[in-house]
Every structure is written in structure tokens, then in C-alpha cells.
Amino acid sequence: MTIERFTEEQVGSFHRDGFLIVEEGLVPEKALDRLRERYLRLFDGEYETGIKPDEVNWVKGRDPDDRTRQICNGWRSDNLIAAQVLSARTGRLAAQLMGYRGVRILQDNVLWKPPGTKAIGFHQDGSYADYLVPPEMTTCWISLHDTAADAGPIAYVRGSHLWPKSPPARSQFHAPDDWMAGVRAAAHPGDPVEVVPVVVKAGGGSFHHNLTWHGSEPNANASVARMALVSHMLPVQARFHEHNADLIYSRYRRRGDLSLDESFFPVMWDETGYRTPWLSDLPDLEA
């Protein structure tokens, strides 16, 4: 059964902790095998739409096998990945948690963390959003496998969304030896640092606030491949910042126009019932 709406208690827990763990039901069960198969193609460089993702941070044969494999905006390359990343359900649930009137996609992350791969350094997503107004997002992380605490699932520092925003630290992102360095630097003496791993069934996952410190430990579990699909979403009215630019994503900013083009930042869900029209051409995940 998929989840269509959160209870008041779940919304309260998101605001108290800075994240909400959802045991299952964020992906139709029928779609799980098909999505996992698309991961293999994407990481083999096979792009259904003929368009390369915005970032390919791991390439077979080029990069060490002990790195978490990451692609950003795989949805531009693969329509089934797009159907899940841009789903109305994900958008509606995120909007409910954040109190947004609607949401649009900023970016996806296609993450594959086989046994033996290293950590993703703990960070706040909001540190990387100063090229947007407002400089914030909310994120849905979905696991395509049953996770285990020792398999390096995403993990959160409970209550850390109430800490200030730290500057970005890109060098500590991929495979740092000390994945908690940023958390230690950000925590005030006496702040409790309780790390909560997201242990869910395939198709379950979590939502988090843009200031919540999170990352993932190395995958020390020999039998969990740990594929995860992430939607980073913006409030629907978000625009580009007039001056601040992101090295990659500000290429979609038109001259003299700060609006976000729906070809690249489609509206996933809006309380008026609006959804970017071309999204209805994507494949049916229930089929």
C-alpha cells in the first residue's frame, strides 16, 4: 500500500526531529525491480532520453570501487527514474510536511552504495542553496532495498535542523575518513548528537528538513547493495538568486528572467491541482 497523506502526529515528529522515517509505501511495489534495473543502465552510461545527467560522480573503471556511486539529475536521462523522482505523491507529502502550497523539483540523486563503499560526509542540504530564493529545499530519500543499520543508510542527527546553517564543505562530501567532522564543528558544547539511521523496507525512506545534518556511514554489510533515490524539492514559488550562482545548476537561469523553467524544474504538486503538463507523459509506475 502506498502512503498518500501523513497524520498530524507524523507532521509533528518531522518538526520536532527534523526528519520523518517512513517504513514503506513511498514507491509502488511493482516499480521496485524496474527502478533497480534502470540503475544498472544509468551507471553503465546508457541514457534512454539521449541526455546525460547533470553530474556523473562515479564512472565504472575510472573511479575507485569503494566510492558511493552518485548521479545527479538521472531523471533527465531516464523516464522511469523521472516518474518516481517527480511523482505527485512525493511532492504532496513534502508540501504537507513543510506547509508549502506546492513543490517543484530542484535535483535528484541516484545513489548506489554496494558493500565495502565509503561514507558520504554529514552535511546540511541548505548550505548548497544560496543560488536560490528562498535558499531552502526539502528532501525525500527512498531506499530501493531493505536497509540495515550497518549497510550505510542515510542517517540523521536528531534535532539538528534547529542549528544554524553552516558554510558548504564540498571537499568533505565524497568518501571522507571522518564523516562526522562537520557535525562536530557545528554542534555547540552540550548539544546532544544522536545519530539515527534510516532502517526501512524497500520502497520506504525518509523526508528531511534542509538544515538537518545527515550523511551515511560506510556500507559494512556484505549483502545489502543499498540503492537510494532522492528528490530535493523547492517551494513552488522559488526563483534563482539575482547574483549568487551555482557552478552547475545556474546554467538553467535565463538572462533577465529569474523564474525556474518547468522543463528543468517541473511542478510536482500544487494545492490548486496544477502539475506541469508534460509529467503526464512519463511511464506509469503501477503498470
Ligand X SMILES: O=C(O)CCC(=O)C(=O)O
Q: Which residues bind ligand X (CB under 6 A)?
A: 109, 111, 120, 125, 139, 141, 154, 214-216, 228, 230
The residue among 145 and 241 lying less far from ligand X, judged by its C-beta, is 145
Neighbours of 54 (CB within 10 A): 19
What is the full DSSP assignment across 69-125?
EEEE-GGGT-HHHHHHHT-HHHHHHHHHHHT-SEEEEEEEEEEE--TT---EEEE-G
Shortest distance (Å) from residue 80 CB to ligand X? 20
Query: To which residue does cell 545548476 refer?
Result: 249
As a whole number of angstroms, the distance between CA 37 and CA 82 comes to 14
DSSP secondary structure code for residue 138 in this structure: E
Task: Report the alpha-carbon distance of residue 54 to residue 248 in Å, rounded.
Answer: 7
Least spacing, CB of residue 281 vs ligand X, in Å: 27
In the complex with ligand X, the residue whose CB is nearer, 98 or 275, is: 98
Q: Is the CB of 97 or the CB of 270 nearer to ligand X?
A: 97
As measured in angstroms, the least distance from the Cβ of 70 to ligand X is 8
CB of 208 to ligand X, least distance (A): 7
Q: Judged by CB, which is closer to ligand X: 120, or 279?
A: 120
User: 255 and 185 in contact (C-beta within 8 Å)?
Assistant: no
Point out the residue whose Cβ comes nearest to ligand X: 216
| Nearest-approach distance from CB 106 to ligand X, in angstroms | 11
Backbone angles phi, psi at 80, to 5 degrees: -75, -40
Q: Which is nearer to ligand X, 28 or 218 (CB)?
A: 218
